[in-house]
Amino acid sequence: MNASPKQRWSKWKAVRAMVPTRIFLPTLTRYASRQFVLHLAITLIGLVALTQLMDLLNSATELMDRHAGGLLTIGTYALLRLPETTTMMMPFSILLASLVTLGRLSIHNEILALKAAGMPYRWLLYALIPGVLGASVLHLVIADQVAPPAFRALLAWDAKAAEDTAARLPTPGDPVWIRAEGMTVRANIVANEGRRILGITLFRRDADDNLLSIVVAERAEYENGKWILSGVQSLVVSQGAGGAYQNVERMNWDTSLTPSHFSDTAARPAGLSMLELLRFVMQPGIGAHAPYFYATWLHERLSIPIASLVMLLLAAPVTQGMQRQGGIASGMAIGLGLGFLYFVADGFMLALGEAGTVPPLLAAWSPTLLFASLGIAWLLRVEGY
């Protein structure tokens, strides 16, 4: 017959009196964290390598057509894609590492030995928290400080190749759109960190959204703090009286837009740092998307440390509950299923936040808080509370 919570607490107090916490918990923390970090490293390396391989197989033909370099081209692409792939695989790797670590401790009866010593199961989770938090900090640093520069370097590398081979290859990717100062700007290729634009079109409208002018230029260069347009064709529209066409070789473009605006907008939200996302949120007139789009991604970035702890919460009650039923493999399968549901829910809410259907705060934090609540409730149930 299971002991009541009061009896277990009395037993634990007796053991705690014999084994000082300052000695026991640090030892357990070092042991559990070492196991977790080892499994996390193996899992992350394996998943990243597999994802990189699949990406290279899918992109090899296009890379060879656009870049001349053989294995050097493949290596450059793989290196520049590595931070983004690591960011994408880190949450799932934390979940797998948590499941494997707890499952291994359970299979070798180490959890049973700890319980026999009077230690509650939650103390093992406390011991894993430093390792999980360390992984979450690493995840945040890579996602916010390493992946954005690498992504921009990849864009610049690809844009340079597109510029060199523009006569025989189509423009890569989608054009960049920016709204600013009552004007809509379309840029085909953004190169040299936004200081050179190939194929730019300026649409100017009045307050009633009537078209006032269209300016098409072959190239825009940022020199000495100002923009110079080359190969310009412009059309000024006169309402009810046709328009005036002009063709000039070079002209100045007076605007507050800077190269960073184009380089930031050309990057996907995952390729922007939190400060850059915040700038788009605070400057709603500039950007290819509405402010709520960038606000959703900003909150998503801020939720990374909590999401890592959720992975541990999803793994902990599963391995403990299945241990009592003699099915560690089944428990790990359930844990993976819960993790998959979390990622589906997170992606679904992120899409709703990008579309403005739900507020950014709700879109980014609701899956994390929901699954954290489920994990805590299940853990309390397994522990008999």
Sheet of 183-191: strand order equals 176-180, 183-191, 196-205, 211-223, 226-237, 243-253
Asked if residue 171 belongs to a domain, the reply is: no
Q: Which residues pair with 216 in a beta bridge?
A: 201, 233
Residue 146 sits in the same domain as residue 185: no
Residue 142 sits in the same domain as residue 65: yes
288 in helix, strand or coil?
coil
Residue 139 sits in the same domain as residue 30: yes
Residue 364 sits in the same domain as residue 264: no
* pLDDT attached to residue 319: 67
* pLDDT attached to residue 127: 85
CA-based end-to-end distance of the chain: 15
Residues of the chain with pLDDT under 70: 1-25, 68-69, 117-118, 159-174, 181, 193, 238-243, 266-267, 285-288, 318-329, 382-385
* pLDDT attached to residue 39: 93
* pLDDT attached to residue 172: 45
Q: Which two tokens stand for residue 250?
A: 């070079």
Asked if residue 275 belongs to a domain, the reply is: no
CA separation (Å) from 42 to 134, 312, 344? 16, 17, 24
Residue 245 sits in the same domain as residue 154: no
* pLDDT attached to residue 324: 53
Asked if residue 285 belongs to a domain, the reply is: no
Asked if residue 169 belongs to a domain, the reply is: no
Residue 136: other Cβ atoms inside 10 A? 21
Q: In terms of residue numbers, what domain contains 200?
A: 176-269
Asked if residue 182 belongs to a domain, the reply is: yes
* pLDDT attached to residue 112: 73
* pLDDT attached to residue 1: 47
* pLDDT attached to residue 40: 94
Asked if residue 141 belongs to a domain, the reply is: yes
Residue 146 sits in the same domain as residue 198: no
* pLDDT attached to residue 41: 94
Residue 158 sits in the same domain as residue 180: no
d(CA 271, CA 31): 36
* pLDDT attached to residue 12: 53
Residue 265 sits in the same domain as residue 306: no
- Residue type for 209, please? D
Asked if residue 93 belongs to a domain, the reply is: yes
Domains of the chain: total: 2
Asked if residue 283 belongs to a domain, the reply is: no
* pLDDT attached to residue 169: 35
Q: What are the φ/ψ torsions at residue 273 (nearest 5 degrees)?
A: -80, 170
Which residue has tokens 């033909």?
61
In which element (H, E) is residue 229 found?
strand 226-237
Residue 205 sits in the same domain as residue 340: no
Nearest to 165 by CA among 55, 261, 264, 69: 69
Residue 248 sits in the same domain as residue 349: no
Residue 237 sits in the same domain as residue 204: yes
Residue 187 sits in the same domain as residue 257: yes
d(CA 176, CA 264): 10
Q: Which two tokens stand for residue 265?
A: 């907008």
Q: What's 256's DSSP letter?
A: S
How buried is residue 289: exposed, middle or buried, by Cβ count under 10 Å (0-12/13-18/19+)? middle
Let me know how many helices (H) and strands (E) the chain has, helices first: 12, 6
